[in-house]
């Protein structure tokens, strides 16, 4: 190889190395995991705010006689389809749904092995690992029969059309139950109420829950794909308006306790199965007349759900909506009386409200009383809580027809956001004591002291390894500890501890009982 060739070889080698490095860097980048779009982490110190909100809810709801129910996050897809409603945005396009497929079934094999694969499906259907539904059984029989005609395929190339049919049927096979991440929890509460026969319990069943919900919406401020709700439900044979008012009272007590300012309660009655259908038809007829002036969404809703048109936020639709017939003028006597009494019961409790005839809820199960609470600092996602009555839901899901229900769900993300916006920020966690120790004997003394301090309720940071004095106290500063307690040979010999207030450097030598007293004073 002459010099020129060597040069060339080196250049090629160099460029190959650069390419490889670039590729490695790209792989590295693609391996950096990030949370999935619309899902987020809630970190300290914000998480302390969340705990405070949830703890306060537990306390307030507890005083109203509510107990916690913990629910699964996955439910049968049909539960939501039936209760929330097939035509709603939530069920028609926002749910995270998948087939909960058995791991006992191997992945789909090459065509030659299809017959044994289908037999395997049959066995798993018998054992219950694959749903033995009517359609599945029929498909199975059909596949067996068709398989006899077309396999082994090498000998029957004329049967290719039937093979396409075979694969089509096979892919229509439901290999597991359809399950969904819950988009809301009322359906689950009602499912649990029925499943556990809670109608036999005395009085009203009063339950609250808190936890994540999932909807595949467009993420934006106050709107996430995993969001959190704190909700409560009252289930029982009575639909007394006093129950509606007390549920709302409980909610307002919580917001007061949390010092949420600017919360506005909107209420409405959307009638029941006696009067709403006629109103919906009246509304639909009126909407048909102005159809051309409406946006695409509202036009579609004239057919699917005219009530939802009232919910529209589109600027140019507002004047049109204002002139539409109002449900208040179309309520039957029973609904009108119920609504009037809800308002009187709210007055009795000194709860201010705004009547909002356009307040309809996006879930099918609501009837009569509906309400929503808006808060400040949230932009267009300003509803922190939605709720209402759902008297027919228990029956719809197969429970006793006599059970009525009412409840609400608070959007915890939005509630926390609103509290932050108004400066009701997270309470600083705060480190009371940084326990600096120097030397092996001091470490053992420090471990014992840390335990006694923590037992007394102090927040203590105990370094896991020995550090130089300056470095250790520097860390105490950066962790914003209120006091440093120093344990070294000198202190051990004297049976005392040195305590240093980090804000002004005040230093004292104290024995253990004096130390505890001093630190209690520092905390107050």
Question: Counting contacts by CB under 6 A, is residue 233 touching ligand ATP?
Answer: no
Nearest approach in angstroms of CB 409 to ligand ATP is 4
Q: Smaller CB distance to ligand ATP: residue 244 or 413?
A: 413
Are the C-beta atoms of residues 243 and 389 closer than 8 Å to each other? no
Question: Counting contacts by CB under 6 A, is residue 260 touching ligand ATP?
Answer: no
Question: Counting contacts by CB under 6 A, is residue 204 touching ligand ATP?
Answer: no
406: CB partners within 8 A, 6+ apart:
233, 234, 239, 243, 244, 247, 369, 387, 388, 389, 390
Question: Counting contacts by CB under 6 A, is residue 215 touching ligand ATP?
Answer: yes
What three-state secondary structure class fits 151?
Answer: coil
Nearest approach in angstroms of CB 186 to ligand ATP is 9
The C-alpha angle 37, 41, 47, rounded to 5 degrees, equals 150
What three-state secondary structure class fits 512?
Answer: helix
Which one of 61, 193, 209, 227 is in contact with ligand ATP (CB under 6 A)? 227
315: CB partners within 8 A, 6+ apart:
none
Question: Counting contacts by CB under 6 A, is residue 343 touching ligand ATP?
Answer: no
Which one of 205, 409, 435, 450 is in contact with ligand ATP (CB under 6 A)? 409
Helical axes 160-172 vs 134-150, angle rounded to 10°: 160
Q: Which residue is nearest to ligand ATP (CB)?
A: 411
Q: Smaller CB distance to ligand ATP: residue 218 or 323?
A: 218
Region binding ligand ATP by CB under 6 A among candidate stretches 5-13, 42-50, 217-225, 272-280 = 217-225
DSSP annotation of 391 reads T
- Can you list the positions of beta strands (E) in 339-412? 354-355, 367-374, 383-389, 404-411
Question: Counting contacts by CB under 6 A, is residue 308 touching ligand ATP?
Answer: no
Residues 144-203 that bind ligand ATP (CB under 6 A): 184
Question: Counting contacts by CB under 6 A, is residue 418 touching ligand ATP?
Answer: no
Nearest approach in angstroms of CB 375 to ligand ATP is 9
Instruction: Go through 210-222 and write b for each residue having 16 or more CB atoms within 10 A of its CB, e for each that does not.
Output: bbebbbbbeeeeb
- Interface mask (CB under 6 A) for ligand ATP, residues 376-395, using x and -? -----x-xxxx---------
Are the C-beta atoms of residues 175 and 102 closer than 8 Å to each other? yes
List residues bridging with 209 in a β-sheet. 231
Q: Smaller CB distance to ligand ATP: residue 84 or 114?
A: 84
Region binding ligand ATP by CB under 6 A among candidate stretches 2-10, 102-110, 219-227, 277-285 = 219-227
Question: Counting contacts by CB under 6 A, is residue 80 touching ligand ATP?
Answer: no
Are the C-beta atoms of residues 181 and 214 closer than 8 Å to each other? yes
Nearest approach in angstroms of CB 205 to ligand ATP is 21
The H or E element that residue 405 is part of is strand 404-411
Chain contacts with ligand ATP (rule: CB under 6 A): 184, 215, 217, 222-224, 227, 229, 362, 381, 383-386, 409, 411, 413-414
């Amino acid at each position: 190889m002459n010099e020129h060739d060597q040069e060339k070889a080196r250049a090629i080698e160099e460029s190959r190395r650069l390419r490889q490095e670039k590729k490695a860097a790209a792989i590295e980048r693609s391996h950096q995991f990030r949370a999935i779009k619309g899902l987020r982490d809630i970190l300290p110190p914000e998480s302390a705010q969340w705990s405070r909100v949830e703890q306060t809810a537990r306390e307030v709801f507890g005083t109203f006689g509510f107990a916690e129910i913990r629910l699964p996050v996955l439910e049968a897809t049909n539960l939501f389809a039936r209760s929330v409603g097939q035509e709603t945005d939530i069920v028609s396009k926002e749910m995270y749904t998948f087939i909960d497929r058995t791991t006992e079934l191997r992945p789909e094999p090459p065509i030659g092995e299809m017959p044994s694969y289908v037999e395997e499906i049959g066995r798993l259907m018998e054992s219950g690992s694959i749903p033995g539904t009517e359609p599945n059984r029929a498909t199975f029989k059909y596949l067996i029969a068709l398989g006899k005609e077309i396999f082994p395929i090498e000998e029957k190339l004329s049967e290719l059309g039937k093979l396409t049919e075979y694969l089509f049927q096979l892919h229509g096979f439901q290999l597991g139950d359809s399950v969904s991440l819950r988009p809301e929890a009322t359906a689950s509460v009602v499912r649990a109420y029925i499943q556990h026969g809670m109608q036999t319990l005395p009085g009203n069943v009063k339950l609250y829950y808190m936890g994540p919900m999932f909807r595949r919406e467009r993420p934006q401020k106050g709107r996430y794909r995993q969001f959190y709700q704190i909700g409560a439900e009252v289930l029982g044979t009575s639909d007394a308006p006093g129950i509606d008012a007390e549920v709302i009272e409980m909610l307002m007590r919580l917001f007061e306790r949390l010092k949420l300012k600017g919360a506005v309660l909107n209420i409405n009655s959307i009638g029941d199965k006696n009067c709403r259908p006629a109103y919906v038809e009246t509304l639909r007829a009126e909407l048909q007349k102005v159809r051309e002036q409406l946006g695409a969404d509202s036009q579609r809703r004239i057919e699917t759900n005219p009530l939802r048109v009232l919910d529209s936020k589109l600027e140019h639709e507002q004047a049109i909506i204002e002139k539409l017939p109002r449900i208040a003028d179309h309520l039957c006597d029973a609904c009108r009386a119920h609504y009037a009494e809800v308002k009187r019961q709210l007055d009795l409790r000194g709860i201010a409200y705004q009547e909002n005839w356009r307040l309809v809820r996006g879930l099918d199960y609501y009837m009569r009383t509906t309400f929503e609470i808006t808060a400040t600092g949230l932009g267009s996602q300003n509803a922190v809580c939605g709720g209402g009555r759902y008297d027919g839901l228990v029956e719809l899901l197969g429970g006793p027809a006599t059970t009525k229900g009412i409840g609400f769900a608070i959007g915890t993300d939005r509630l926390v956001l609103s509290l932050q916006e108004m400066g009701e920020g997270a309470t600083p966690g705060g480190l009371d004591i940084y326990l600096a120790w120097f030397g092996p004997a001091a470490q053992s003394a420090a471990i014992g002291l840390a335990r006694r301090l923590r037992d007394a309720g102090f927040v203590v940071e105990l370094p896991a390894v020995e550090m130089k004095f300056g470095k250790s106290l520097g860390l105490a500063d950066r962790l914003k500890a209120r006091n440093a307690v120093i344990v070294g040979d000198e202190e051990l010999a004297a049976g005392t501890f040195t305590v240093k207030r980090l804000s002004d450097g005040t230093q004292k030598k104290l024995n253990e009982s004096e130390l505890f007293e001093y630190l209690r004073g520092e905390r107050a």
